[in-house]
Amino acid sequence: MALDETHDPARLSWVESANAAGCEFPVQNLPFGVYGTRGDGKPPRGGVAIGDQVLDVAGFSKALGFTGPAAAAAAACAEPNLNLLMSLGRAHWAALRLALSRALSKERGWEDRRARASGCLMPMDQAVLLVPARIGDYTDFYTSIFHATNVGKFFRPDNPLMPNYKWVPIGYHGRASSIVASGTPVTRPSGQLKPPAAEIPVFGACRNLDYETELGFFIGTGNDLGMPLKIGEAAEHVFGAVLLNDWSARDIQAWEYQPLGPFLAKNFATTISPWIVTMGALEPYRTAAFKRPAGDPAPLPYLTDAADQAQGGYSIAVEMFLRSEQMRTAGMPPLRLSHGNYRDAYWTLAQMVAHHASSGCNLQPGDLLGTGTLSGDTPDSLGSMLELTQRGANPVKLPSGESRAFVADGDEVIQRGRCSREGYATIGFGEAAGQVMPAITA
Ligand code: CA
């Protein structure tokens, strides 16, 4: 994929709200999602965010007479999930993006296009935004060396980073059924807890509930079982990115994680933003892969590709906010807890994908790969409360006078993300938000 007219910062849309300063969904973005509408009896369908509106992609294509691959890709958006669109591949995605960009532009013939499209747009605040794909499998990586080191320090102060970290893109297979769209309440989990001083564990409500600031990448086209992907072509299989909050029960995790890794501590909820920002839209924000410090080993050949090293990073800013019940009642805005950037990840997206498939594991359209917590090397870029409060030792002060060692009932945790670059439009991800509900006590 390359830079083209769809990235032209001068292009405006006849959907006027898309042209407003600070709008997350200008015509240069065009993220895909799945939406339903309250009470109209229509099944959910694929849409694109433009300004403060949602566009019915299949209906728009019919109304404007899209042809060829663009029409085929748009027709796939009539489905109640985006898996079919994802399975079509890059040529179809690019053709649809180009057709949508031209059709929505305020360029020659726009008044006619706007007239024909009447009935294809609805205000986003009236739409119900859903999980955009049928997610068969979800894998969570651990690609920030800063996060891995910070977390390792709590367990192994002298040797925080495990010896495999710089060789293997570490990950684990997560739980797909509990991935929820932004706005879905998150119930505090219960589980086995064993404080260090206790003799035996107890079963009870999690006391150390945390979030993890991540991105999630949706696989578009998969690979056949037994057929690995070459690093140089791995990124072509990715459809796009969402914000991802990997809710984590730290006390459950501490007791259960050895020897097989996270289980119930991370399977009760994962919140994602509903709009998938496509790899096509992310093209201008590519950057060099993270520069490994001198002395670090070079990746093994199956994870090494010159183009990936030169352009396989993405500059995507991610922020996490918190608003307590008290702050909400007092009308206070959410407090920003951290801001980091995906370009600081030790492993690239292509390395994640190539490594995942290197065993012959078959990735499938709609699979979701989490990046792991995106912490940077500065105190204001720590992507979890575990790191921010040093495992609860230094609680965060809230503007309401409250403090937080971990997340409390009633708290809303809100993630945001955006891409900007000199000479290009700024595009946003919307938000991945969830409010914590009290544990269910039997
Ligand atoms: Ca995680």
Condensed to tens digits (0 to 9), the pLDDT of residues 255-281 reads: 999 899 999 999 999 999 999 999 999
The Cα 166–Cα 93 span in angstroms is: 34
Tell me the two tokens of residue 269. Answer: 């909820």
**Residue 141 Cα, ligand 1 centroid: separation in angstroms?**
7
Query: CA nearest 234: which of 148, 352, 150, 69?
Result: 352
Query: CA nearest 265: which of 257, 273, 274, 277?
Result: 257
> Residue range 101-105: average pLDDT?
98
The Cα 309–Cα 348 span in angstroms is: 8
**Residue 120 Cα, ligand 1 centroid: separation in angstroms?**
38
pLDDT tens-digit map of 338-357: 999 999 999 999 999 999 99
Q: Which residue has the tokens 């500059």?
A: 315
**Residue 143 Cα, ligand 1 centroid: separation in angstroms?**
10
Judge if pTM exceeds 0.85: yes
Tell me the two tokens of residue 235. Answer: 């990124």
CA distances from 384 to 207, 216, 319, 369, 391 (A): 15, 16, 11, 19, 10
**Residue 53 Cα, ligand 1 centroid: separation in angstroms?**
32
The hierarchical CATH code for the domain 138-437 is 3.90.850.10
Question: In the predicted model, is pLDDT for residue 158 greater than 80?
Answer: yes
**Residue 55 Cα, ligand 1 centroid: separation in angstroms?**
32
**Residue 8 Cα, ligand 1 centroid: separation in angstroms?**
35
Each domain of the chain, given as residue ranges in start order, spans 5-130, 138-437
**Residue 44 Cα, ligand 1 centroid: separation in angstroms?**
29
**Residue 140 Cα, ligand 1 centroid: separation in angstroms?**
6
The Cα 174–Cα 27 span in angstroms is: 34
DSSP 300: P
Query: CA nearest 276: which of 432, 120, 52?
Result: 432
**Residue 13 Cα, ligand 1 centroid: separation in angstroms?**
37
Question: In the predicted model, is pLDDT for residue 436 greater than 80?
Answer: yes
Q: Tell me the β-bridge partners of 322.
A: 335, 413
**Residue 182 Cα, ligand 1 centroid: separation in angstroms?**
17
pLDDT number for residue 40: 76
pLDDT tens-digit map of 51-66: 999 999 999 999 999 9
CA distances from 402 to 205, 392, 405 (A): 21, 14, 10
For helices 57-64 and 90-104, angle between their N-to-C axes, nearest 10 degrees: 70
- Give domain 5-130's CATH number out of 1.10.357.10, 3.30.70.1150, 2.60.40.10, 2.30.30.230: 2.30.30.230
pLDDT number for residue 180: 98
**Residue 121 Cα, ligand 1 centroid: separation in angstroms?**
36
**Residue 151 Cα, ligand 1 centroid: separation in angstroms?**
11
Active-site choice (7, 147, 339, 356): 147
Which band of pLDDT confidence, cut at 50, 70 and 90, is reported for residue 38?
confident
The radius of gyration computed from the CA coordinates of the chain, to the nearest angstrom, equals 22
**Residue 142 Cα, ligand 1 centroid: separation in angstroms?**
7
Q: Work out the percent of the chain whose per-residue pLDDT is above 70.
A: 100
Please provide residue 76's backbone torsions phi and psi, each rounded to the nearest 5 degrees: -65, -20
Which band of pLDDT confidence, cut at 50, 70 and 90, is reported for residue 1?
low
Which band of pLDDT confidence, cut at 50, 70 and 90, is reported for residue 402?
very high
Query: CA nearest 424: which of 46, 117, 15, 27?
Result: 27
Question: In the predicted model, is pLDDT for residue 220 greater than 80?
Answer: yes
147 is catalytic: yes
